[in-house]
Structure 1
Amino acid sequence: MGWVEHCIWWHVYPLGFTGAPIRTEHDAAHRLRHLEAWLDYAVELGTSGLLLGPVFASESHGYDTLDHFRIDPRLGDEEDVDHLVTACRERGLRVVLDGVFNHVGAGHPWVREVLEGGPDGPLADVLRVDWSDPAAPRLGDFEGHGSLVALNHGSPQVVDLVARVMTTWLDRGIDGWRLDAAYAVPTEFWAQVLPRVRESHPDAWFVGEVIHGDYAAIARAATFDSVTQYELWKAIWSSLVDGNFFELDWALQRHAEILDSVLTSTFVGNHDVSRIASTVGPEGAVLALVVLMTVGGVPSVYYGDEQGYAGVKEERLGGDDDVRPSMPASPGDLAAWGGDTFRRHQELIGLRRRHPWLVRATTTATSLTNTRYAYTARAGDEALHVELDVTDGHRAVVRDDAGTVLFEYRA
C-alpha cells in the first residue's frame, strides 16, 4: 500500500459542493457530474486523490444513511459514481469514500424491521435497543442525536453488512474508506471487519476518524492504516491564535511518537470544523499550511481552503452549512480574489511532492519562543528547515539543507 505515502487528498463534501438540498424537499439529479468538472482543478492544485464525504442514500446531511448500496438520488446513481471513478483514474487521482458505520438514519429499513420484529425478531440484535419494556423499546443513538440510530457492533449481521458494503464499492474501483465516528465503535469490530475486506483488497486504505485518545494503540487494536490527527490540527490553529508555539512544538513531539506506529491523516480543515482562514485569519492560514505540508503524515486540503474561503461552524441546526458551501459550475467561475491563496497552495503542495520523504518526517525544534518557531523536518539523510514568525506580522520560510529558500511568505 505504498501509494498512500505519495497521496495528497482534496477533501470534498459532495452534497454541499454540488448544491444539493439538505433540509428542504429532496430532488433527484446527477450532481456528481458537477464534481467531474473540477477534477482537472484538483490536479492543477497538485493533489493526487479525492477524499469524498457521504454519497449514499440518506435523509439529510449524508451521515444518516438509508441504504449503503445506493447512491443518494440528490447526487445521481451508481453509474455516476462509476463515471466519476473512471474520470479520476484517467487523471491519476485516487478515490476514498466516507463510510458511516457507527449509526444509520432513523428512516433506515432496519429500524422499522427491528421495532416490528421485537426482541425475538430476526434483526433484533442489529441495533442498540433497550428492550426492558417491550411495549416501549428505546433505540440507542449517536451522541444524543435521535435521528442517528446506533448499530450494535456486537452483532455478526452488522459485521457482515459492513464488510459487504466495503467490498462492494472497492470492487467498483475505489481505493479505500474514511471510517466516520470510528472512535465511537469498539476496536474489536474493526478488527473483525477489516481483515475480511483486505482478503480481496490488500491495497485498500482505511483511515479511522479518531478525535482523542492513544492514536497508535487505537489504530493497532482496530487494524486501521491511519487515523485522523486532531491533536495536531488543534495545536496548529491554537498556537497561531494564542501566539504560543510551545503548544505546537509539544504536539509535534507527540506526533513524532505516533508516526512510529501509524501514518496519520493530517489536515487544517475539514467538513466538521470552522475554516482555517476564519480561525487564524488569511495570513495565519498560510503558516498553518506550511506546517501541514512540512511534517509527517498523509495531508488533505479541504475544498475551498485553497481559495481562502471563510466559514464558521455553529452548534445549531444548519450550523455546518457555512463550512460546506456549494461551488460554481466550473473553476473558471471562481472569483479572482482567491487566486493568490490558490498559488500558495500550489507552491507548498508542489514542495511536498518534490520531497515525498516528508510523509515519514519527524521534527526537531531549533529555535522556540512564544511567537517564533524554527524546526527541522527530517527523514533519514533528508531534511528541510522551517521558520515561522508571528512576532510582528506573519512570516514563513522553508529552506533546504544547503540554505536555498524553497518557499517564503511575509504579511
Structure 2
Amino acid sequence: MQDKWIDHAIWWHAYPLGFVGAERDALPDGAAPVHRLARFEPWLDHLVGLGCSGLALGPVFASETHGYDTVDLLRIDPRLGDDGDFDALVAAARERGVRILLDGVFNHVGRGFERFRAAQDGDAEARRWFRWDGDRPADFEGHSRLVELNHDEPAVQRHVTEVMTHWLGRGADGWRLDAAYRVPPSFWRAVLPPVRERFPEAWFVGEVIHGDYPAYVAESGLDSVTQYELWKAVWSALNDRNLFELAHALERHSTAVESFAPLTFLGNHDVTRLASRLDVPEHIGLAVAVLMTVGGVPSVYAGDEQAFTGVKEDREFGDDAVRPPFPDTPDDLAPFGAPVQEVHQRLIGLRRRHPWLVRARTTVEHLTNTTIAFRSSGGPGEELVTLLSVDDAPQRLPGVDEVLAPHSWRVLGA
C-alpha cells in the first residue's frame, strides 16, 4: 500500500472561537475583523513539541454564534480575522511541517445564510436548497436556528464542492465533515470526485456516531469516520472496571481497520473532557496508551494533554466548559498539567516511532475485569503488546515477567 501523509498524522484538535475567547455572537455588519487566528501561532510549537503533526480546527467560517450556524462558507468569521489571517496561519503551519484540517458544516446552515434568506423571500430556486416540512424549514435535531440543506439538490452539491476546493486551494489539507451521519452517502459520492481530481492527497473524515462505520465509508467514498464506539468504551470500561467492554470494542475496531483508518480520540469539542469523565485520575495514562497503540488516526483535543477539566451540559451554551479560552502562549499554562503532558509526549513519541500502527490489527491475549493485554500487529516484525490494570492490587499477567502496578499501563516491544 502506498505511504500517504495521513498515515503519519496525529492531530491536535482545537475549537477556534472558544480558544481565542471570541464573542458569543457574530460581530455587527460592517464591523472590522478582529485578527485572532494569529493566536494559534505560538501553539503550533506546542503541538509539534507534543509530537502531533496536524492542527484540526473547528469551524472558522462566518456564523451567527457557535460556528455551526454558518452564514458564509467562503468567508473567515470576522471574530477570528480574514483571509490574510488564514493564509498567515497556513504559512506558519507549513514552516513547521504541520497539516491543517478544516471543519465543514455541510448538513445545515444558520438562518442568516444568504440562500435561506432568499428562500424566505419567495425565491423558488433558493427554496430548493433546503428541506421543508410544509412551509416550515426542516431543522437539525430540534435546533430551529439550524436549517437543513437539501442534499439531493445539484446546486447544493456544486456549492459544497466549490467550498472544499476553495479552502484546499488556500492550503488546507482535508476536511472533517460535521454531522455526516445526517447526510446521505450519495451526497459525498457526488461532491468528492471533482475535489479529489484537483486535490488527490486531501483527506476527508465524516462525523459518524453510531452504525456500521465500514459500510458508511464504502458507500460515501470518504476516507474515514470518527470512532465514537471506541471513545465510549475506553472511559466506560476504565470507570466500571469492566475491561470486557474495551475488549469487545477493540475487536470491532480491529475489523473496521481492515478497510479504513478511523479517526480515534479521547475527547473533542462535543463531549465532557477526559479528566472530568474518568473516576480515577491515574487512568488518563491508560486511556492514552489505548489511543496510541491501536489502529487509526489519533487526535488529541487541545487541553486534554494538560488534564483540562470540563463537563458538557444539556442546555443552551452547555458546551462552553469544554471549549474554554486558552492562554496567549503555552508558557502561560499552569504547572500542574505537566505530568499528564509528559505521558502524552511519551506515548505520542512511541506512536511516531511505529507509524505502521495506523493500520494495525489488534487481538486481545489476556482479559479479566481489571486487567487486559492486547497485541497490535502490522507487517513482519511489527508488534506491540499493551498492558493495562485498573486493579487496586499489583497484578502479574501471563507471559509477563514484571508485576504490573495498580492502575498502571505498560507497552512491551516499544
Q: Does 1:145 align with 2:148?
A: no
Q: Does 1:208 align with 2:206?
A: yes
More deviation, 231-240/357-366 = 357-366
Aligned position for 1:134: none
Which secondary structure does the structure 1 equivalent of 2:127 belong to?
coil
Match of 1:8 among 10, 13, 19: 10
Measure the CA separation in 2 of the matches of 1:25 and 1:320.
Answer: 21
Question: Any stretches of 5+ residues in structure 1 without a counterpart?
Answer: 132-136, 401-405, 407-411
Match of 1:125 among 125, 128, 146: 128
User: Which residue identity lines up with residue 412 of structure 2 in the other structure?
Assistant: R
Measure the CA separation in 1 of the matches of 2:44 and 2:127.
Answer: 44
Q: Alpha-carbon deviation of 1:269?
A: 0.4
Conserved in 1, the CA contact under 8 Å of 2:214 and 2:259?
yes
Aligned position for 2:88: 83
Alpha carbons of 1:149 and 1:24: their partners in 2 closer, same or farther (altered >3 Å)? Answer: closer
Conserved in 2, the CA contact under 8 Å of 1:292 and 1:299?
yes
Which secondary structure does the structure 1 equivalent of 2:34 belong to?
coil
More deviation, 24-33/367-376 = 24-33
Match of 1:92 among 78, 88, 97: 97
User: Which residue identity lines up with residue 2 of structure 1 in the other structure?
Assistant: K
* Structure 1 segments (4+ residues) deviating >3 Å: 23-28
More deviation, 391-400/138-147 = 391-400
Conserved in 2, the CA contact under 8 Å of 1:293 and 1:348?
yes
Aligned position for 1:394: 407
Aligned position for 1:409: none
Conserved in 2, the CA contact under 8 Å of 1:282 and 1:308?
no
Conserved in 1, the CA contact under 8 Å of 2:351 and 2:357?
yes
Measure the CA separation in 1 of the matches of 2:257 and 2:354.
Answer: 18
Aligned position for 1:375: 374
Which secondary structure does the structure 2 equivalent of 1:317 belong to?
coil
User: Which residue identity lines up with residue 362 of structure 2 in the other structure?
Assistant: T
Q: Alpha-carbon deviation of 1:283?
A: 1.3
Aligned position for 2:343: 344
Conserved in 1, the CA contact under 8 Å of 2:27 and 2:79?
no
Q: Deviations over 1:16-37 (max 9, x none)?
A: 1111112486774111011112
Q: Does 1:111 align with 2:116?
A: yes
Q: Deviations over 1:235-275 (max 9, x none)?
A: 11110111110011011111111111111000000000000
Aligned residues: 394
Measure the CA separation in 2 of the matches of 1:82 and 1:287.
Answer: 38
User: Which residue identity lines up with residue 310 of structure 1 in the other structure?
Assistant: T
- TM-score (norm. length: structure 2): 0.93
Measure the CA separation in 2 of the matches of 1:326 and 1:282.
Answer: 23
Measure the CA separation in 1 of the matches of 2:291 and 2:158.
Answer: 37
Alpha carbons of 1:38 and 1:18: their partners in 2 closer, same or farther (altered >3 Å)? Answer: same
Conserved in 1, the CA contact under 8 Å of 2:386 and 2:409?
yes
Q: Alpha-carbon deviation of 1:39?
A: 0.7
Q: Does 1:43 align with 2:56?
A: no
Which secondary structure does the structure 2 equivalent of 1:80 belong to?
helix
- Determine what percentage of the aligned residue pairs are the same residue: 58
Aligned position for 1:288: 287
Conserved in 2, the CA contact under 8 Å of 1:57 and 1:73?
yes
Aligned position for 2:402: none
Aligned position for 1:316: 315
RMSD: 1.2
Which secondary structure does the structure 2 equivalent of 1:38 belong to?
helix
Measure the CA separation in 1 of the matches of 2:126 and 2:326.
Answer: 41
Q: Alpha-carbon deviation of 1:282?
A: 2.5
Q: Alpha-carbon deviation of 1:122?
A: 2.1
Question: Any stretches of 5+ residues in structure 2 without a counterpart?
Answer: 393-405
Q: Deviations over 1:89-116 (max 9, x none)?
A: 0000000100000000011111210111
Which secondary structure does the structure 1 equivalent of 2:75 belong to?
strand
